Amino acid sequence: MNEFKISTFLPFTLFSYFRHMSLPYFFEPFESSDIIVLSEANMHYMMHVLRMKVGEQCWITNGKGIRCLATITSASKRSCTITSGECIQSFTPPSSLHLAIAFTKNPARIEWLLEKATEVGIGYITPLITHRSEKIHWKQERYEKILTAAMLQSQQTWLPVLNEATRLENLITCDADIKCIAWCEEHNDKNALLLHIQNDKKTIILVGPEGDFTSDEVHLCMQHGFKPVSLGSNRLRTETAGLYACVVYNSLI
């Protein structure tokens, strides 16, 4: 059995954090910190690609706030046992940002957004269905792999939540402290997004499709408390607008 045994959470210092930043980083969706079974893919990469040996260390996170510094204690061609030496747990996700965005016709562009938004910092992503949205060719497994790889690349411990595609009218009643909607046309009440952001508040930002929101959709959102926001003076592609919103939000952290 490929087991990851965690006995206790030990004190974790800033010095030890930076000392081990360059170690390999893995993801395992464990619920209990007692025994964690490594996936075959992780074990193969650890033992046969990185050629790690007994005594070497790595990071493992469960994507829910736990990061453990682990040491390989035994290894063979078919099994690998790892014991934790230091663990930290963050109970609060680093980002309270919920980006609801219409997926683009070109899947490569939305995959790029998923990767970059995760690296910058985001809590929730919802594919938005609007009047002018393109048909979504849903690739759950591929999207989850992109989010996981980006989380590991940026050495985070929280995996963003990717929600199912949701119609705009079903999302506008969501629970959020700050609600914003961005679209291309000029509006007298539009202010820069930065003026609305407070990073300790649950925030949802709506970004429309390549054909933009309709005027009726904008009016409906504003009736439900959404504030019109500007994403700068340039006209941005859908995925660029989504990333812009993530960057502005995280600039205050």
> Does the structure show a pLDDT above 60 at 8?
no
Same structural domain for residues 68 and 112?
no
Tokens matching residue 89:
């747990």
Same structural domain for residues 63 and 172?
no
Same structural domain for residues 49 and 171?
no
The residue among 37, 64, 89 that closes a domain is 89
CATH number at residue 57: 2.40.240.20
> Which has the higher per-residue pLDDT, 36 or 100?
100
- Confidence band (pLDDT; 50, 70, 90) for 6? very low
**β strands within the chain, DSSP E:** 3-5, 25-27, 35-37, 57-61, 66-75, 80-89, 97-101, 124-129, 161-162, 166-167, 178-182, 191-192, 203-207, 227-230
pLDDT, tens only, 115-169: 999 999 999 999 999 999 988 888 999 999 999 999 999 999 999 999 999 999 9
CA distance linking residue 40 with residue 37, whole number of Å? 9
> Which has the higher per-residue pLDDT, 123 or 14?
123
> Does the structure show a pLDDT above 70 at 79?
yes
Same structural domain for residues 149 and 50?
no
Whole-number pLDDT of residue 75: 80
Same structural domain for residues 232 and 144?
yes
Same structural domain for residues 77 and 180?
no
Range of the domain at 56: 3-89
Least confident among 16-25, 96-105, 188-197, 213-222: 16-25
Among 170, 87, 70, 89, which residue's Cα sits nearest to residue 130? 170
Whole-number pLDDT of residue 33: 63
> Does the structure show a pLDDT above 60 at 172?
yes
CATH number at residue 235: 3.40.1280.10
pTM: 0.85
Same structural domain for residues 152 and 132?
yes
Same structural domain for residues 237 and 124?
yes
Domain total of the chain: 2
Same structural domain for residues 211 and 117?
yes
The residue among 38, 68, 89 that closes a domain is 89
